[in-house]
């Protein structure tokens, strides 16, 4: 069955993996005084068919702009919880970019002794 370019049920995914940002995050006093590196994975709902046909960046979501916006937002912010950080990243993307949904994974490497990583994954949709 061929899909038409107007078929709103067809959704592709654009992803960014391991976007590193230095920020203030944590609940302990010492964490509030230093910048720590967080790793962010982003999945974005998109329809890439038009861009696949045209081979033109104007016909797709410019993921470089998304990455730069997230890096700026996180670097300029301070959070106690990675849960709050993930939620605010999702809200920012949904408000500023034409995507129907976003999935955010924020991890804080080395936060727990004996564990490589700890974090949260959330998925949010436009209202």
With CA atoms as reference, report the closest residue to 125 among 106, 102, 105. 102
**63 near 14, Cβ under 8 Å?**
yes
Q: Which two three-digit tokens encode residue 24?
A: 């203030």
| Complete DSSP assignment for 42-84 | EEEEE--HHHHHH--GGGS--HHHHHHHHHHHHHT-EES-HHH
**Which residues are catalytic, by number?**
108
Burial-class residue 77 by CB neighbours within 10 Å (0-12, 13-18, 19+): middle
């Amino acid at each position: 069955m061929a899909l038409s370019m107007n078929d709103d049920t067809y959704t592709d995914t654009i992803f960014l993996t391991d976007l590193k940002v230095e920020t203030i995050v944590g609940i302990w006093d010492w964490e509030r005084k230093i910048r720590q590196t967080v790793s962010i994975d982003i999945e974005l709902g998109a329809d890439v068919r038009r861009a696949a046909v045209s081979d033109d960046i104007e016909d797709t979501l410019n993921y470089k702009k998304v990455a730069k916006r997230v890096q700026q937002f996180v670097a300029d912010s301070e959070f106690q919880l990675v849960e709050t950080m993930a939620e605010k990243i999702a809200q920012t993307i949904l408000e500023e970019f034409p995507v129907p949904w976003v999935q955010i994974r924020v991890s804080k490497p080395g936060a727990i002794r004996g564990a490589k990583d700890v974090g949260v994954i959330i998925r949010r949709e436009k209202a």
